[in-house]
Amino acid sequence: MGRTARNADRAWTWRKGPGPVVVGILNVTPDSFSDGGDFLDPEAAAEHAAALLDEGADILDVGGESTRPGSDRVSQEEEIGRVVPVVERILSDRPEAVISVDTYRSGTATAALEAGAKFVNDVTAFRGDPSMTSVIQEAACPVILMHMQGEPKTMQKEPHYEDVVREVRDFLAERAEYAVWAGVRPENIIVDPGIGFGKNLQHNLALLRNLDAIVDLGFPVLIGASRKSFIERITGVQGPRDRVSGTVATTVLAYERGATFFRVHDVRANREALAVAEAVLHTSHR
């Protein structure tokens, strides 16, 4: 069995069937880089959530703080106040929805899990809040551990690596080992090279090109390249909402290299591209 198929099978526990997992992005923030302010109101957020689910999202990733380069932190209280009403509202409309909370704060993760979220997406990979491991361990829920060099406020100033692929792989291996040591179940770990988080264009491309080095760690791999500015550097497309084609290229290439989770704004386009990629790569397609 190929690498992609093996990891796709592992993803089975969180969704209806094997195959790539599409994570729809729902930013409940005033300042996210591509959709800031669009879904601050729970009503508008719930409507967008329903649209993402109808387009084929397997999971909705709800975030209450932007991590775009240069962004400012918000308080945990503010973050909870943004995220929890939206999680509750989505689940009252669509009880079957699988929700992930994009936070590095244990208090926000706890509140979102209590409200019915099923995943935690921690962009600090347990470095942001020492209590996060016990929250994940107690909830026995899946967690996404992402690589980031520096912190959002300054991470794009001068990212530097000797060997970006080796350093990101070693970081994720160490974080996963720490997580297991702290009581997180290995089968609940998903790793993410953190496209655009303390990386220049060449770093992002090297990671996408050599994704097999990350896949070889043995955990499902998530890619979050959606609408990011490195796509503009290549294509010249300035408006984030217009970077769908560039995003789809990253999705298909990363899927072929063994990634199985795709965190995207444009669910329909990525879902369709993945269906075609899947049909080409796996003969099981009918």
Give residues in contact with ligand HH2 (CB under 6 A).
25, 27, 29, 32-34, 63, 66-68, 102, 121, 123, 144, 146, 192, 194-195, 222, 224, 263
User: Is 228 tagged catalytic?
Assistant: yes
Minimum distance from residue 158 beta carbon to ligand HH2 (Å): 20
158: burial class by Cβ within 10 Å (0-12, 13-18, 19+)? exposed
Only one residue has tokens 């996404």, namely 144
189-192 β-sheet, strand order = 189-192, 143-146, 119-122, 99-102, 59-63, 21-27, 261-264, 222-223
The nearer residue to ligand HH2, 199 or 271, going by C-beta atoms, is 199
Which of 114, 123, 104, 151 is closest to 263 using CA atoms?
123
The residue annotated as part of the active site, out of 169, 175, 199, 263, is: 263
Which of 238, 283, 285, 275 is closest to 20 using CA atoms?
275
The residue annotated as part of the active site, out of 175, 228, 243, 271, is: 228
Minimum distance from residue 280 beta carbon to ligand HH2 (Å): 25
Minimum distance from residue 35 beta carbon to ligand HH2 (Å): 7
Minimum distance from residue 27 beta carbon to ligand HH2 (Å): 4
Phi, psi (5° rounding) for residue 191? -115, 155
The nearer residue to ligand HH2, 194 or 198, going by C-beta atoms, is 194
Give 149's DSSP letter: S
The nearer residue to ligand HH2, 249 or 281, going by C-beta atoms, is 249
The nearer residue to ligand HH2, 46 or 143, going by C-beta atoms, is 143
Cβ atoms of 258 and 223 closer than 8 Å: no
Cα 125 to the chain's mean position, in Å? 12
The nearer residue to ligand HH2, 261 or 274, going by C-beta atoms, is 261
Helix (H, G, I), strand (E, B) or coil at 222: strand
What is the rounded CA–CA span in Å between residue 96 and residue 206?
38
Minimum distance from residue 258 beta carbon to ligand HH2 (Å): 17
Phi, psi (5° rounding) for residue 62? -100, 125
Minimum distance from residue 261 beta carbon to ligand HH2 (Å): 9
Residue nearest to ligand HH2 (CB): 224
Give 240's DSSP letter: G
The nearer residue to ligand HH2, 38 or 282, going by C-beta atoms, is 38
- Which secondary-structure segment (H or E) carries 25? strand 21-27
User: Is 263 tagged catalytic?
Assistant: yes
Catalytic residues: 228, 263
